[in-house]
């Protein structure tokens, strides 16, 4: 089986993290999984949602928003604001991103503030939700690192990193990190979210006008587990390299990123 981009079955697309892409955010990153690119920005608001106040829930909250920029797809995608409502897919994806991050952030340690995680797809080529979660983990880590440096929290609320990847069955063969052409024709498609400790946060898996066997499911989960371990290594490297926020340098890096391909 030769993949459309000649990758091995257990190979991720080239992954990169470009931090400080949005200098006004507390933490931000442009994450790329091959030709899928997502801008993720984490912003802190010094208030909590009303329901937390009414129910006397201690600590803070984390909420995510996801959208595809109109020019992220081959055919222009209308902004939700133009149609007057958030589409069902975006709503499902942003709730997944929120749950994934809340699984690794100690909300009580965050204090009475809201951490907003904004994910905007710059270029879509399959796996935008998994790239968004993987990038969000880096953006949130950067934002919380800043909160600690400013002395606003006693301990870092980030318990561990989280990452996500897709795996699917295409022409009967299980494979990792599907790009759009693979995703479109896959018989089964799984999105897997796991933490640094190797525990699952969520699995979304379905047969797409087809069925899958338990052996194929095990193969997909094993591929995803291996891919996520590699993604977490790359997140750690990106965080180690991103000690100083850099506006102009980030833009220079962006030019390099697009020019270099
Ligand atoms: N896609 C698109 N327009 C849409 C929705 C999806 O072009 O309105 C493409 C896009 O490349 C996306 C892929 O279809 O990455 C797979 O979409 P899916 O809903 O499975 O989510 P994703 O894999 O991006 O998390």
Q: What is the mean pLDDT of each run of 10 residues along the chain (261 residues)?
A: 94 98 98 98 93 89 97 95 90 98 98 97 98 98 97 96 98 97 96 98 96 97 98 97 62 52 35
Q: Which atom of ligand 1 is nearest to the CA of 166?
A: 23
Backbone angles phi, psi at 187, to 5 degrees: -80, -30
106-133 core/surface letters (b: 16 or more CB in 10 A; e: else) = bbebbbebbbbbbbbbbbbbbbbbbbbb
Q: Does the beta carbon of 73 sit less than 6 angstroms from any atom of ligand 1? A: yes
Look up the CATH architecture of domain 15-78+88-243. Answer: 2-Layer Sandwich (3.30)
Q: Residue by residue, what is the 3-state secondary structure of 80-106?
A: HHHHCCCCHHHHHHHHHHHHHHHCCEC
Rounded to the nearest angstrom, the distance between the alpha carbon of 125 and the centre of ligand 1 is 7
> Looking at residue 256, what is its pLDDT?
55
Instruction: List the chain domain ranges.
Output: 15-78+88-243
Q: Which atom of ligand 1 is nearest to the CA of 125?
A: 11
> Looking at residue 49, what is its pLDDT?
86
Rounded to the nearest angstrom, the distance between the alpha carbon of 72 and the centre of ligand 1 is 10
Tell me if residue 48 falls in helix, strand or coil. Answer: coil
**Partners of 61 in the beta sheet?**
114
- Alpha helix segments (H runs only) across 16-85: 50-54, 80-83
> Looking at residue 257, what is its pLDDT?
54
- Which H or E run includes 167? strand 162-170
């Amino acid at each position: 089986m030769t993949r459309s981009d000649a990758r091995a079955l257990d190979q991720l697309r080239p992954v990169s993290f470009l931090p400080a892409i949005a200098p006004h955010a507390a933490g931000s990153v442009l994450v790329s999984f091959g030709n899928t690119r997502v801008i993720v920005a984490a912003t802190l608001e010094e208030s909590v949602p009303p329901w937390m106040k009414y129910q006397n829930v201690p600590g803070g909250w984390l909420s995510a928003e996801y959208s595809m920029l109109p020019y992220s797809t081959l055919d222009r995608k209308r902004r939700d604001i133009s149609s007057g409502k958030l589409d069902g897919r975006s709503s499902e994806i942003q709730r997944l991103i929120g749950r994934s991050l809340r699984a690794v952030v100690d909300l009580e340690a965050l204090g009475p503030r809201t951490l907003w995680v904004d994910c905007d797809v710059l270029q879509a080529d399959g796996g935008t939700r998994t790239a968004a979660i993987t990038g969000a983990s880096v953006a949130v880590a950067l934002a919380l690192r800043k909160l600690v440096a400013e002395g606003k929290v006693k301990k870092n609320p980030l318990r561990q990193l989280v990452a996500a990847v897709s795996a699917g069955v295409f022409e009967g063969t299980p494979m990792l990190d599907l790009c759009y052409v693979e995703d479109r024709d896959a018989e089964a498609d799984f999105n897997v979210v796991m933490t640094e400790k190797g525990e699952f946060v969520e699995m979304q898996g379905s047969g797409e006008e087809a069925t899958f066997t338990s052996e194929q499911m095990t193969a997909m989960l094993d591929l995803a587990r291996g891919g996520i371990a590699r993604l977490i290594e790359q997140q750690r490297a990106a965080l180690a390299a991103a000690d100083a926020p850099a506006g102009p340098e980030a833009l220079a890096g962006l030019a390099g990123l697009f020019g270099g391909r």
